[in-house]
Amino acid sequence: MRRERATKIVATLGPASSSPEMIKALFEAGVDVFRLNFSHGTQENHGRVLGAVRALEKEVGRPIGVLADLQGPKLRLGKFVDGFINITAGSTLRFDTDPAPGDEKRVPIPHPEIIEALHEGSTVLLDDGKVRVRVVRKGSGYIDAEVIAGNKLSNNKGFNVPDVLLPVSALTDKDRSDLFFALDLGVEWIALSFVQSPQDVIDAKELIQGRAQVNLKLEKPLAVEHLTRLTELSDSIMVARGDLGVELSLPEIPALQKRVIRESRRLGKPVIVATQMLESMISAPVPTRAEVSDVATAVYDGADAVMLSAESAAGQYPVEAVAMMDRIIKQVEQDPGYRAIIESQRPDSGHSVADAVTQAAYQAANSVNAAAIVTYTLSGTTTLHAARERPRIPIIGIASQLSTARRLVMSYGVHVVHAPEEIHTFGEMATKATQVTLEHGFAKEGNCIAITAGVPFATPGTTNVLRLITLDKAMMAQLPSGSKPVEVPRRAAAKTDDASVLRSAPVANEAE
């Protein structure tokens, strides 16, 4: 099964979409990566759902990625005597650590470390920003705060403190339990919630020990201040606009989204745009025009993937939401102006051998109108370098390890193929690349393909070879029996001056 688009779709599984039949329907509608939200459900349920995803993967013969999203330190108020209180702007509320139910004058916060971290002038946002207060006085175990906006507070509502570095870890005890459970299940990605500083990512990676890759959810303004360092430390980024929209001014979010996408692309890290993308489809069969524009904007910005949350997890129209997102992406990518925008945002090339080879492959593929860029990869680095260029032609990522193949499914423009067979020579590499390209419908006789790989083979981080191959009769005669080309109606045969194999001299890099 092949996607006719470069931008990928991540969908959250939940009560509306956890059956094997629904998971298959979502995949067929266009889902590339499934998200397990550990803020909801039990470990048992998530394990059962992941089992269904793995069974589907075997059935369809295509790698499918899974992202385990940890809840993080969600801060909540205590309870009130009557379940809620009415408040007015200008009034003063006392927040303290007394667990007794609160009233119109007093609000319990069961987090003494938060009281300690706050100071006069701090802003506290309650109930997703519906209530806003400012600290006017601080005492032993309490703060007094003036109500700036809002008229009601009820039990257990969440609260956010945007301008203070809170003395809490990004991983709670629950998160640690869920983390090790997810790692034992073999998920490809761990999403970290409410990260404040680079140390949060470093601590998580020490626990993960390379068993999965880290997806950093950008939700806190303090994290934005460390954007470059956090992107360097993480393996992918999620622009989680829900909590960002609570703690930042809403008009700031669009520009920040573009900035995060540019920085992630510059560093070659996949980036997901998430939250409320097709929110109205939770209860309606079609989205609003504004939501369609929101998804389209993320695609025009060059995101690797766009994500559905409640739309697919708990909505009434999960399959329709995925199908709609698929249609929007395809429509944008067919727009003549889309390619011009993507090209104008291309980051400067790096200075490593891998960067040079990838850049050469991009330019050579364009020059000869290649049908595809084929990357051989062990760790995924070679393919990520290719995806960073956002080429107009497909990238075929041939991965020898299944875990790598599943991770690469998230990356822009990459059609992933798991090929566990070891490659030892250039001849074997060319034969396998040609075979995969034909069998998966990316080329036919007369087309040219560009291949990048690393020598020695099966060594991570050694992208140092570029080879161009024209699929002539002689080349196709050397393929294993049963390797039949699939009709490729959307691309004409490449025009080349030489019908023989075109090969560049391998660029050795003994230092890498």
The two beta strands, 463-470 and 502-503, are antiparallel
Structural domains of the chain, with CATH: 8-73+169-338 (3.20.20.60), 84-160 (2.40.33.10), 353-503 (3.40.1380.20)
Listed residue (252, 251, 271) closest to 261, CA to CA: 271
Average pLDDT over residues 180-190: 97
| Catalytic residue list contains 407 | no
Distance of alpha carbon 321 from alpha carbon 284, whole angstroms: 10
Question: Catalytic one among 76, 94, 138, 346?
Answer: 76
| Catalytic residue list contains 137 | no
| Catalytic residue list contains 275 | yes
Q: What percent of the chain has pLDDT over 70?
A: 91
Q: What pLDDT, on the 0 to 100 scale, is given for residue 510? A: 29
Average pLDDT over residues 171-186: 97
**DSSP secondary structure of 107-139:** EE-S-HHHHHH--TT-EEEETTTTEEEEEEEEE
Average pLDDT over residues 416-432: 85
Q: Which residues contact 233 (CB under 8 A, 6 or more apart)?
A: 198, 201, 202, 205, 214, 216
pLDDT of 505 higher than 70? no
Residue pLDDT, tens place only, 198-224: 999 999 999 999 999 999 999 999 999
* Cα–Cα–Cα angle for 476, 480, 486, rounded to 5 degrees: 60
Question: Catalytic one among 7, 231, 275, 382?
Answer: 275
Largest CA distance in the chain: 85
pLDDT of 506 higher than 50? no
pLDDT of 458 higher than 80? no
| Token pair belonging to 212 | 């999965």
Strand partners, 115: none
| Catalytic residue list contains 76 | yes
The helix or strand, by DSSP H or E, that contains position 225, with its residue range, turns out to be none
Question: Catalytic one among 3, 157, 217, 258?
Answer: 217
Q: What pLDDT, on the 0 to 100 scale, is given for residue 492? A: 35
Q: What pLDDT, on the 0 to 100 scale, is given for residue 460? A: 67
Q: What pLDDT, on the 0 to 100 scale, is given for residue 320? A: 98
Listed residue (312, 409, 321) closest to 6, CA to CA: 409
Q: Which residues contact 468 (CB under 8 A, 6 or more apart)?
A: 364, 368, 370, 448, 449, 450, 451, 502, 503, 504
Beta strands in 185-324, from DSSP E residues, in sequence order: 189-192, 213-218, 236-240, 271-274, 305-308
Question: Catalytic one among 3, 5, 8, 35?
Answer: 35
CB contact at 8 A, 119 and 138: yes
